């Protein structure tokens, strides 16, 4: 089960900032910079995109879009470091930005997803008790995301991971969770719930290899060889134009898993 939640390290290239002074852009400065940040993110220049979003936040503490995007980028970038200190720095900043965005609009899909992602990220570098506490908070934000945007593929994916984690708690975790909640008040999660959520993620974005890989791992944990192979075959059939080292690594792992079953 641990393989499903293990972050894949990525080499990240630090490039110079392309940010223009905000004052020089006049009243439309925020819109210009938001567009610039979006373009940089689409080009996989996430460090530069984050710098732009944080420049906007420095000038406008209540810029909702910049807060949400900066939060998500800090969560994603924190996963790429191997030492917990740097991870925690990024994840804590991600949570702080997400909380500010959530206070501005608590029913928006972006702010709810940013909160869920930041909590999930912090959970990975927390002790057992705090990890369970953070995990217990995630579900409400995922529900908020999907209530606002039922087609949010990343939220469905995270919900699938949440269901899988909750469905496979060990005895000590179950006991601690019951104590925290005063009894398991929430509906028990199942692997079937996890599979459904993962399939919804794939439905809304069939081009994300991570969704297939995580679904295949769920089937592998369930000893369902046929479903695992079928999921991996679906992933390979997409013939995706892989752009990042993470995507290339995921493709390699999918192929290795599939080959192991076909021997």
- Sketch out the chain's domains with CATH numbers: 27-154 (1.25.40.10), 206-263 (no CATH)
pLDDT tens per residue across span 28-71: 568 899 999 999 998 989 999 999 999 999 999 999 999 999 99
Q: Is the pLDDT of residue 262 over 60?
A: yes
Of the ranges 164-173, 185-194, 224-233, the best mean pLDDT one: 224-233
More confident of the two residues 141 and 177: 141
Mean pLDDT (whole number) for 244-253: 89
Position 27 scores a pLDDT of 40
pLDDT of 256 over the 80 cut? yes
Q: Are 79 and 112 in contact (CB under 8 A)?
A: no
The more confident residue out of 8 and 101 is 101
Q: What is the pLDDT of residue 8?
A: 35
pLDDT at position 189 is 87
pLDDT at position 254 is 93
CA-to-CA dists, residue 76 to 19, 44, 72, 122, angstroms: 21, 12, 6, 12
Whether the per-residue pLDDT at 181 is higher than 80: the answer is: no
Q: Residue 164 pLDDT more than 90?
A: yes
Q: What per-residue confidence (pLDDT) applies to 245? A: 84
pTM listed for this prediction = 0.85
Q: How large is the average pLDDT for residues 134-158?
A: 96
Per-residue pLDDT for 205 more than 80? yes
Question: Among 79-93, 128-142, 239-253, which is the least confidently predicted range?
Answer: 239-253
**How many percent of the chain have pLDDT more than 70?**
85
Residue 241, pLDDT score:
76
């Amino acid at each position: 089960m641990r393989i499903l939640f293990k972050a894949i390290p990525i080499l990240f290239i630090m490039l110079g900032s392309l940010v223009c002074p905000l004052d020089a852009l006049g009243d439309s400065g925020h819109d210009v910079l938001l567009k610039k940040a979006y373009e940089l993110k689409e080009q996989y220049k996430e460090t530069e995109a984050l710098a732009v979003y944080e420049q906007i936040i420095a000038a406008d503490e209540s810029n909702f879009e910049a807060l949400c995007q900066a939060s998500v980028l800090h969560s994603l970038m924190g996963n790429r470091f191997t030492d917990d200190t740097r991870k925690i720095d990024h994840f804590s900043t991600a949570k702080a930005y997400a909380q500010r965005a959530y206070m501005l609009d608590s029913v928006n899909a972006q702010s709810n997803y940013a909160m869920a992602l930041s909590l999930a990220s912090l959970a990975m570098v927390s002790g057992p008790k705090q990890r369970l506490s953070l995990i217990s908070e995630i579900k409400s934000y995922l529900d908020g995301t999907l209530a606002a945007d039922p087609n949010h593929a990343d939220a469905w994916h995270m919900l699938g991971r949440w269901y899988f984690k909750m469905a496979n708690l060990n005895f000590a975790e179950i006991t601690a969770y019951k104590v925290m909640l005063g009894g398991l008040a929430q509906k028990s999660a199942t692997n079937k719930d996890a599979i459904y959520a993962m399939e919804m993620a794939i439905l809304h974005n069939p081009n994300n290899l991570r969704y297939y890989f995580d679904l295949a791992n769920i089937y592998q944990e369930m000893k369902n060889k046929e479903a695992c192979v079928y999921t991996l075959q679906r992933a390979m059939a997409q013939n995706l134009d892989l752009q990042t080292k993470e995507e290339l690594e995921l493709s390699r792992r999918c192929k290795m898993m599939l080959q192991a079953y076909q021997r």
